[in-house]
Chain A
Amino acid sequence: MSDGSVLDHHSPYETPLHRDESAIAGMWLFLASEALLFGGLFLVCLVYSQTRAAGWAAGVRHTDLTIGAVNTLVLITSSAVYTMAVAAGQRGDNRGVVRFGLGAAVLGMAFLALKGVEWGQEFRESLFPGPHFALHGPDSGGAALFYSFYFLATFLHGMHMVVGIGLILWVCRKARHGAFGPAWSTPVDVVGLYWSFVDLVWMLLFPLLYLIGRR
């Protein structure tokens, strides 16, 4: 296991700090890019929730608020727990990284499991848009648009969750081999940025999918 607190001689950096700051900055830049990926979805939501307001709101009313709210709580907690792993990493506490990291990953999986239950429910109720879409009447088109948005947004967010869980497990594996110390725990930090970002996106998706237009 290479020790990240020293530079190998091919590294383009002057000092380890220089390298670690670049990694953090690079992750933020990538997250800015990710923000625009979800930004396209938000644009669709912004336009259709205004131009097809009635149907859109009908769709919002059919989502399962209980599961949505519980999932939000789960994700808040997961993000908080992972932040504790980051703090542990900065202390050089590898066992802490593993413990909190696994906790965050398990909560992430719980989120995905609940999401799966919710999806299953929605498929059974024929809420997936298409020829057999369950909602009828003059506003059914808008509701179908809402559910297109709903399924794609939750799918894309779920994919980010899967990637995030994978990254966390990778960090845990490194920590189990004692890779981190007070001088170097950048991978824990960088993955933390990503994981919190995935959480952040859900903080925006949750009101859009479940709350705004419900009443």
Chain B
Amino acid sequence: MGRIAICWGMLVLLLAAELAATWAGYGIAVCVAAVLMVLVIVLGFMQILRGPKLAVIFALGGLFWLTILLALGSLDSFTRTTVPVPGPALPDRAAGLQEGG
């Protein structure tokens, strides 16, 4: 019971910290708090370390591949050179749909 109460308290505090950081405009602090909350849940509620060793391997594997997805998946968008097209801008699709529909 004690462990669960402590974890719950930590999560509530971290939630408060997130809200405070948002109010102060520290985006990074929000991210850090979110990661900490995930850790509290994985270690405190899901008790990954008390389960079979395979659980840790699978979780780390998932995390590793998630990193590949996010890193290589966004590489293109973040390094692309956009060549402006001369001439009038593209017609607004939303407006087009409204007229057509």
* Chain B interface bracket (under 10, 10 to 19, 20 to 34, 35 or more): 35 or more
Instruction: Pick the most buried of A131, A133, A199: most chain B CB atoms within 10 A of its CB.
Output: A131
B interface secondary structure, majority: helix
Q: How far is the CA of A196 from the CA of B55 in the complex (A)?
A: 15
Contacts A28-B54, A87-B4, A131-B97 given; does A40 touch B45 at CB 8 Å: no
Contact status B22-A39, CB under 8 Å: no
Q: Could you say which residues of chain A place their CB within 8 Å of the CB of B15?
A: 69, 72-73, 76
Residues of A146-202 contacting chain B, CB below 8 A: 192-193, 196-197, 199-200
Contact status A200-B41, CB under 8 Å: yes
Contact of B98 among A79, A131, A196 (CB under 8 A): A131
Report the stretch among A3-11, A44-52, A111-119 that lies at the interface: A44-52
Q: Is A106 an interface residue (CB 8 A)?
A: no
User: When each residue 45-81 of chain B gets 1 if its CB lies under 8 Å from chain A and 0 otherwise, what string results?
Assistant: 1101001101100110111011001100110011000
Q: Could you say which residues of chain B place their CB within 8 Å of the CB of A80?
A: 4-5, 7-8, 11, 45
Sample of 25 A–B contacts (CB below 8 Å): A24-B52, A25-B58, A28-B48, A31-B62, A39-B66, A40-B69, A47-B74, A73-B12, A73-B15, A76-B8, A76-B12, A79-B41, A80-B45, A83-B45, A131-B94, A144-B94, A196-B45, A196-B46, A199-B45, A203-B34, A203-B38, A203-B41, A211-B21, A212-B30, A215-B25
